[in-house]
Amino acid sequence: MDYRPNKNRYNEMTYNRCGDSGLLLPAFSLGLWHNFGQTDSFDNARTIVQKAFDAGITHFDLANNYGPPPGSAETTFGKILKSDLAQYRDEIIVSTKAGWKMWEGPYGDFGSKKYLVSSLDQSLQRMGLDYVDIYYHHRPDPNTPLEETMGALDLIVRQGKALYVGISSYNAVETKAALKILKEMGTPCLIHQPRYSMFDRWIEEDGLLDLLGNEGVGSIVFSPLEQGLLTNKYLHGIPESSRAASGRGNGALEADQITPEKLDIVARLNNVAKERGQSLAQMALSWVKRDPRVTSVLLGVSRPEQLEDSLRALQNPDFDQEELNTIENILSGKG
């Protein structure tokens, strides 16, 4: 059956300006880190993408190594683009990244110009695209001059293979240096993609969030639910069907990360969520997006129902100061 998107798809979603740029991004974007690989159900992946677009999610975030196996998430998304979304390409933001190991030998990892340019050529081929909207360097490379890595991003924009560029997982010091180089080259950094959740607040502690706000750079945060820990999934231990129990790896939550102390905090946070009329996952998403410097929040879902549940976080009221104080006390062990 031909896919026909919801005609009212832009009515419910909130769109935020990405830093000082002209680009608007949806408050929630769809991440394809997990559940879109060759080993996953294509029909399920296709339904999730359709539901996302129907809900006004215009941004789809990938990386060269997403799968498994690496590259297969881009292949899956390319098939969905071709079958369902090709005529809506100008309504969609597609991003991808390179920086982690993608192929054997000395040219398939980290941040050389050789790797970044070659990787994007492969990504475009897998997705059947002429260009991506955003291309990221996925992680810092301690052995390649930053000027070379940023120069590769600048080159890619000038070649027309990407409209904007970004960086991911750079700390504040590394980010400041990268922003300076890109600005001098005439290809300013659009966006930073860091990890951020109630349990992982390094971007606040490191000063990265302040830097991005001061420099007019957007941010899109990943793992806002701490790989499922900030949901009701682990309120009563580790279910056998969970990612933590499977030991799947590839950045997934591991069982030894789920300590009794964290489970106690999760239970207390769940009580606050109930008082707000939210699920724990919805409250965790609302908490992450409360900061105006957070342009968008990446959602990673395994089922369409999870996507629909997450999107309900758009409907809940903002936190009042008492709620924020209560959450801070819980997270610090005082609540």
Residues 140-190 pLDDT 10s: 999 999 999 999 999 999 999 999 999 999 999 999 999 999 999 999 999
Contact in structure between 294 and 41 (CB atoms under 8 Å): no
User: What is the Cα–Cα distance from 29 to 327, expressed in whole angstroms?
Assistant: 25
Greater model confidence, 247 or 76? 76
Helices of type H across 93-171 = 113-127, 146-158
Q: Given the structure tokens 């098939």, which residue do they identify? A: 79
- CATH, domain range 15-236+283-319: 3.20.20.100
**Nearest to 29, CA basis, from 120, 139, 134:** 134
For 167, the enclosing helix (H) or strand (E) is: strand 162-168
Go through 248-273 and write b for each residue having 16 or more CB atoms within 10 A of its CB, e for each that does not.
eeeebbeeeebeeeebebbebbbebb
Per DSSP bridges, beta strands 93-98 and 59-61 are: parallel
Q: What percent of the chain has pLDDT over 90?
A: 89
Q: Which range has the worst mean pLDDT, 55-59, 198-202, 331-335?
A: 331-335
Go through 69-99 and write b for each residue having 16 or more CB atoms within 10 A of its CB, e for each that does not.
ebbbbbbbbbbbbeebbeeeeeeebbbbbbb
pTM (2 d.p.): 0.94
In tens, the pLDDT along 234-293 reads: 887 776 666 565 555 555 566 667 888 899 999 999 999 999 999 999 999 999 999 999
Specify the pLDDT at position 333.
85
Please state, in angstroms and as integers, the Cα–Cα distance from residue 21 to each residue in 91, 163, 295, following that order.
Answer: 17, 12, 11
Specify the pLDDT at position 144.
98
**Nearest to 138, CA basis, from 119, 121, 158, 151:** 119
* Number of neighbouring beta carbons within 10 Å of residue 12: 13
Give the residue extent of every domain in the chain. Answer: 15-236+283-319
Tell me phi and psi for residue 311, to 5 degrees: -65, -20
Specify the pLDDT at position 123.
99
Interacting residues of 49 by C-beta distance below 8 A, sequence separation 6+? 30, 60, 77, 80, 84, 85
**Coil, strand, or helix at residue 166?**
strand
Q: Which range has the worst mean pLDDT, 48-52, 66-70, 147-151, 229-233?
A: 229-233
